[in-house]
Amino acid sequence: MSTPWKTENWFVSPWNYVEEMTKDFHPPKRVKIHDITLRDGEQQAGITFTKDDKIRIAEKLAEAGVHRIEAGMPAVSPLDEAAIKEIVKRDLGPEIFCFCRCMVDDVKRAVDCGVRGIVIEIPASAHLIEHAYKWPLEKAIDLSIKATAYAREQGLYTVFFTIDGTRTEMNWLLDLIDRVSKEGHMDAFTLVDTFGVLSPHGASYFTKKVKERVSKPLEIHFHSDFGLGVANTIMAVLAGAEVIHSTVTGIGERAGNTPMEETALALLTMYNIDVGINYGKLNELSELVQKLSGTAVPANRPFIGEGAYNIESGIVTGWFRNVFEKDPTTVYPVRPDFVGHKKPEILMGKKSGIDNILIWSAKLGINLTEEESMEVLRRVKLKAHDLKRTLKESEFKKIVNEVKKEKK
């Protein structure tokens, strides 16, 4: 019988679902993915997406079932503007948004692109406004009111986005939101942790405090400078935020944005919150973004790393050999095929055991006696130690041949 923590596709801890822990969770009825790979993802230093790159990624995002695509920022370049227009024209399924500064001219460009909505930014911390932008505080407020009011006139769904919102004084931020909402316009407000400096408990606090004053839907835009983007996003969702801004593989400014893959799968398996994407497309999508961005994720990156499901350890290979075909989730918390990952590989190296030898021998059509298997294993360990890596099939076969020749 299927339970939230154990299904045919995953097996996580039942402790995640005890009432003592979940009683204070207040997630929304539906959570959406607002993908920002084509905008904030491209802001990672060294990444450049061409118009064709953006179109290809947008098509793959649509196949994966994301709800919104932030296709870029028209003010960046004519090529960016052309890419946004083409993505809109293709009517791929997801709602297409673009990113704007709080300037009427930026909103006009968005209108020309034909997008459904905009994410419109303004600096929200006094130190950033006064020192980085060198503006008086009132200028930020006036620009926000004028630009968002114009967006409403143009019929754009307007998401108000406050840069550096987590390093400002809370009442100043809430007062800014109030004024923009009343004198300008917003359809939704984004909780923004521009510099990734929020803790998980801070994310919960931030969400709850904003909900006390703001009746609009809340969106989440968190960075991963301390590696907490996923945890913080989950905490905000559990406090009631509805839309997750994320990137494929977590690319983005500095240490990156919240990665979609880990966030969506953690919500699904540990909190029973299905964001409704096609999880089987995650590896295909990740591979495309890595290729077009010129980036690579670590081999052991959860769910999408090349070696995320591979095994070298003899003990774990024994588990794999005994139970993988019957119940993969005994060995892996999420089945590799559920996320579109290739079948696991059993590697041969220093940490390998007799089960690795048995699996490789069967795969290569090699017959070994028990004595020969133990000697092959001994030499495999020594060879892998000296090479400081796992062995290739040719190297394994050479060891087998040497052992068989000596045992004649």
Comparing 134-138, 139-143, 200-204, 294-298, the range with the smallest average pLDDT is 134-138
Question: Measuring CA to CA, how many Å separate 40 from each of 11, 77, 389?
Answer: 33, 15, 36
Q: How confident is the model at residue 132 (pLDDT cuts 50, 70, 90)?
A: low
How far is it between the farthest Cα atoms of the chain?
91
Residue 131, pLDDT score: 64
Task: Provide DSSP, 124-154.
Answer: -SHHIIIIIS---HHHHHHHHHHHHHHHHHT
Residue 1, pLDDT score: 53
pLDDT of 370-396, one tens digit each? 999 999 999 999 999 999 999 999 999
pTM of the model: 0.94
Percent of the chain with pLDDT over 90: 88
Mean pLDDT over each residue of the chain, to the nearest integer: 95
Which domains are present in the chain?
16-293 (3.20.20.70), 314-407 (no CATH)
Q: What b/e readout covers 122-153, taking b as 16+ CB neighbours within 10 angstroms?
A: bbbbeebbeeeeebeeeebbbbbbbbbbbbee
Residue 203, pLDDT score: 98
Q: How confident is the model at residue 123 (pLDDT cuts 50, 70, 90)?
A: confident
Asked if pLDDT for residue 348 goes beyond 70, the answer is yes
Residue 25, pLDDT score: 96
CB count in 10 Å sphere of residue 388: 8
